[in-house]
Structure 1
Amino acid sequence: MNKAFYIGIGLNSAFTLIEFIVGYSTNSLALIADASHNLSDVASLIISLIGMKLAQKASTTLYTYGYKKASIMASLINAILLVTIVIGIAYEALVDFDTIPEVAGKVIIITALIGVFINTVSAFAFYKGQKDDINVKGAFLHLMVDALVSVGVVISGIIIYYTSWNIVDPLVSLIISVVILLSTWGLLKESIKLAIDGVPQNVDLSKITAILESYKFIQNFHHLHIWALSTTENALTVHIVPKSDVTLEETLIMKENIKEDLAHQNIQHATIEFGIKADDNQKSRALNESIN
């Protein structure tokens, strides 16, 4: 999977530089908008790669969870930067509606077609890994969106080339801004949620509850907490009160079975605490007092 990241970063970095140069030389705001988006994607790929590397590092006495949370913080920073870029692109597009510059449609078409090819190749480098890793899936979908955006720029170039309607350029840049914002909004919301330890998107709380309720040996459970350790790993803690007639052996077996069930619900780290009912607790204290 590292190879896919290197391919994506290399191809998109080179193309982003070309797009910026061509965009500024031809006064194409649509190309500049697409280049800005591609630049953010390059940064996103780099940060995702760093996150994968950090996730492989062992925990320390200072960071007992390791550096897994860094991937969540990175995605939050990426989302905020991307929204900022979108606002800038939209502002420039609105300004250009008043003073529309001459745009070289043929150059835009050629450049954008290269973008369609590069983004499609980069996206399919992640196709296999995106089925098992939500972080890789995000990179895959982001690059596919880029390919579609480049298609939009091609359409803009064709219209300008044959009609000389230069107003299409800022109009397409606005549409691109909306597409980027829509693709980023979900990332921003999820990143904020994970940063404050909300339930991850790939975990269904109702299914977790149903699993716990399905065990006949459980009297009740509480203090159920689910959060993300990283963009790919989730943790859970829960306090379970077993029925009074449940033996220690049955409790231990039940614990392992619950952990196995939770693993199928995207819970990689489960901490399960078993307690006793209030009346049993009183009996235990009375027994301790009689012994003392």
Structure 2
Amino acid sequence: MKNEENHSSFSQGFSNGHHHGNSFASNRKLIFSVFLNLTISITEVFGGLFSGSLALISDSLHNFGDTSSLFVSFIARKISRKERNSTYTYGYKRAEIIGATLNTIFLLAIAVFLFAEAIRKLLSPAEIKGELMFWVAIVGLVGNVITAFLLFSESKQNLNIRSAFIHIVSDTLSSVFVIIASLIIIRYDFLLLDPLLTIVVGAYICYQSIHLLKKTMQILMQGIPDDHSIEMVRTELEKLDFVHNAHHIHIWTSDGSDIYVEAHVQLTKEAENSKVSLDSYLEKVEQVLKQLRINHSTIQIENGRCNGGS
């Protein structure tokens, strides 16, 4: 027979009243960033069409991808803050992860379009108005720098906003490359540089998107967070003098920040025969887990007669 007790602890790291003032301020930043990026995207699309620059259009589409990412992040954040209920017992935090996944797929579709258009332009180069291309790219660069500045602090705490921030930083670099390309086109009339730069931008979008898609799928598939491992948790728990072994360990994250663990902890014979309460043992186990930045735990205590697995 097992002598066991289930215990769950829910941290307040994402509690209902957490940072209401900061949330309002960050939401305003998100809304402003969405409108600013949308304005940049529209400006660059028309600039690309009138100048004949595919690189400028690719920059605008990448910017539009950032805009959609910010918009999805804003909507997903609203959904994720809904109260958990009897149907969604973990709450709605994964709405942001789903949003990031959808946006990444959208960016991959943009990359495919850019590759196709770049190949067409390589086979049939067209005239490009370098001066217009230059000034529109300058506008895009200024807008991207402002947006990146607004989102920098938020990007450290939110996977979806982090993805948008990374895209915006890459867009800033893309705008710099477009500016350089426009100057070369003005000076040397090297028209093939435009589609070649578009291919580079498309490849970078693919690289970013695939990396982020792996991250979001790891979370959705309940994979172990990158900076944690079953062996790490087992080793730390078995350092406790009352623990014979720890097994059946599962680690996952709901949204990239809150980390959960389930584990069976088998007591030593001495601990089993002592008069120390199970709650006391559980408190010590949870202290260890909190040091590992695990803030949600379900621990099952087992006596020495149980057969521990791995």
* Identity, % of aligned positions: 28
2:169 to 144, 155, 162: 144
Structure 2: segments with no counterpart, 5+ residues: 1-25
Task: Measure how far apart 1:89 and its partner are.
Answer: 0.5
- Distance change in 2, residues 1:266/1:148 (3 Å): farther
Q: Distance in 1 between matches of 2:83 and 2:144?
A: 34
| Aligned counterpart, 1:159 | 184
Q: Is 1:276 matched with 2:303?
A: yes
State how many pairs are aligned: 281
| Aligned counterpart, 1:235 | 260
Q: Mapping of 1:91-130 within 5 angstroms?
A: 91-130=116-155
Q: Distance in 2 between matches of 1:230 and 1:248?
A: 40
Q: Is 1:40 matched with 2:57?
A: no
| Aligned counterpart, 2:214 | 189
- Distance change in 2, residues 1:243/1:86 (3 Å): same
Q: Distance in 1 between matches of 2:63 and 2:290?
A: 36
The letter of the residue matching 1:113 is I
Per-residue Cα deviation, 1:53-88 (whole angstroms, up to 9, x for no partner)? 222111112211111222222222111121121111
| Aligned counterpart, 1:263 | 290
Q: Mapping of 1:57-96 within 5 angstroms?
A: 57-96=82-121
Q: Describe the SS at the equivalent of 1:201.
A: coil
- Distance change in 2, residues 1:207/1:111 (3 Å): farther
Q: Distance in 2 between matches of 1:199 and 1:279?
A: 26
**Which gives a bigger RCO, structure 1 or 2 (Cα 8 Å, sep 6+)?**
2
Task: Measure how far apart 1:267 and its partner are.
Answer: 2.5
The letter of the residue matching 1:269 is H
Task: Measure how far apart 1:251 and its partner are.
Answer: 4.0
Q: Distance in 2 between matches of 1:53 and 1:261?
A: 33
1:50 to 75, 78, 83: 75
1:245 to 270, 276, 281: 270
Name whichever of 213-222 and 151-160 sits farther off: 213-222
| Aligned counterpart, 1:17 | 42
TM-score by length of 1: 0.88
Task: Measure how far apart 1:271 and its partner are.
Answer: 1.4
Superposition RMSD on alpha carbons, in Å? Answer: 2.1
Structure 1: segments with no counterpart, 5+ residues: 282-292
Q: Distance in 2 between matches of 1:153 and 1:206?
A: 48
- Distance change in 2, residues 1:87/1:280 (3 Å): closer
Q: Describe the SS at the equivalent of 2:270.
A: coil
Task: Measure how far apart 1:136 and its partner are.
Answer: 3.5
